[in-house]
A = this chain, B = another copy of it.
Amino acid sequence: MNDLKVNFERLLKDLEELGKIGQDPLGGVSRPSFSLPDLEARRWLQQRIEQAGLVCRQDGAGNIFGCLPGKNPQVVMAGSHLDTVINGGRYDGSIGILAALECLRRIKEENLSLNKTLEMVSFTDEEGNLVGDFLGSRAFTGQLQVEQLKNARTQFGHSLEEILQKAGLSAETVAQASQERPEVSAYLEIHIEQGPVLEEEGVAIGLVSAIAGKRYYQASFVGRAGHAGTTPLELRQDAFIGLADFALKANQLTLRKYEGNTVTIGRVMLKPGSFSIVPGQADFTLDMRSLDGQSLKAIEEELLKLASEVASTRGLSFFSQLMDGTEPVVISEAVLNRLKNLCQELGYQYLTLPSGAGHDAQIMAAVCPVGMVFIPSVDGISHTPEEAINYEDLEKAANLLLRTLISLASE
C-alpha cells in the first residue's frame, strides 16, 4: 500500500459538482450554514458518503460523518467544512472534505484492513455566518453551553434556535453533540492557504506549525447626529471621524509594536446613514490575530484602550462586545513529523508555516493531536469569487492525506 494513490479524476468530479451548489448570481458561492444551498450540499454529501459504502451519520450539531470501521473503535479523522462566506470561493472548506472522502473511498475499494477506524467529517458553520466561527467543531469538542445557544442571535438578528429547528436540530442537541463523540486519536485537515506564502515560494505543500488566535469584537463609537449643512465642523461629535482616527492609529500601533500580527476593520455601518447627516454612531467590527497568546492579549488590551482614548479626546463614547475569541494553537509535533516524513517518501517539496486564519483543526486541538496541510491559493486570495487553486497541488495534498491516514490508522 505504499504506492496507493487517490482517484483524482473522481475527486475533481466531486469538486465540480459541489461547486455548483449555491452558485451566487452576484459571483462565487454563497452557502452559509443551514441556508437552502447548504442544506442541498448536505444532502449531496450524504449521498456521496453512502454511495462510497461508508457509514453516514449526523450529530446534534449537524456535523456530518462518513465512517470506515477498523479493527478498533479509535478514530483517525479528517475533514473540513461545507459552508462558505457570502460570495465566497469553491475551495475553502470543500477540498478538505472531498479529499478526505476520496481517501476513505479509495481505502475501502482496496479492502485495506486497518487497526483504527477512519472517519471523514464536515463541520457545521466554520465560517461563523450564524453566531461566531466553528459552531460544529466547538459543539463536537464540548465547548458550547445550551444557555448561550438558546439566546444567541445572528448578526442579522435572527434567532439561532429557530434556524436550528428548521434543520431538525435545537440548542439542546448542539450542546449535547460532544456526547456522541468517539475517541479521536488524530484530526487532519487539508485547506487552501488563504494567503500568498506558498505561491511566492513555489511550493505545493504547506505543513502548518501553528494557528493564530483571534479576538473579534463588535464595537461602536457614539457621538451626536446633526445636519451636514448646519452643524459647524468644530462643534461636531462625528462618530465616523472618531472611527477613522482609531483605525489609522490602531494600524500604526500594531505595525510598530506587534509586527506580524494583524488588526482588521472589515465592516462599518454609520447611523443614521444619510449623506446629509453627520454620523451619530459608527458600528464596526474589530478583528485582531496573533500566533502568540501573550501578544494577542496585549494587542487586545492596547487597542481597546486606544479606542477609549480616541473617544474621550473627541467627545465620543466607545462601546465594545467580544463576539468570538480563540487562543493560538501549536500543532502536534508527532503529527507534523509524520507529515514531513511522508512528504519526503512521496518526493513532495514542503514548507512549514503558521496559519493566520482559524480552522476547525484549531478547535479539534482541544481533544486530540491535529495536523494541517495547506495548498497554495492563486494570488493569495480567498473568501472571494476569484478564489482558485492549481489541481496538481490538490492531488499531492490528497495523496499525502491518504498515506497519513493509512499510517496513523495502522498503529
Contacts and interface: CB of A to CB of B under 8 A. Distances in A.
Interface residues of A, number: 70
Contacts of A243: 244
B233 A263 contact: yes
A380 B226 CA distance: 8
Nearest to A254: B233
17 contacts: A87-B272, A133-B276, A194-B230, A224-B381, A227-B383, A228-B262, A228-B357, A229-B356, A229-B358, A231-B356, A231-B380, A233-B263, A241-B248, A245-B248, A264-B276, A266-B278, A275-B323
Interface of A: 85-87, 127-128, 133, 193-196, 212, 214, 216, 224-235, 238, 240-241, 243-245, 247-248, 251, 254-255, 260-270, 272-280, 285-287, 289, 323, 355-358, 380-384
Contacts of A240: 247, 265-266, 268
Contacts of A86: 272, 274
Contacts of A241: 247-248, 251
Contact of A233 (B251, B267, B384): B251
Given A225-B384, A240-B265, A248-B241, A230 B193 contact: yes
Nearest to A265: B240
A270 B266 contact: yes
A31 B390 CA distance: 53
A257 to B, nearest CB: 12
A196 B235 contact: yes
A383 B226 CA distance: 7
A208 to B, nearest CB: 11
Contacts of A357: 227-230, 276
Nearest to A155: B275
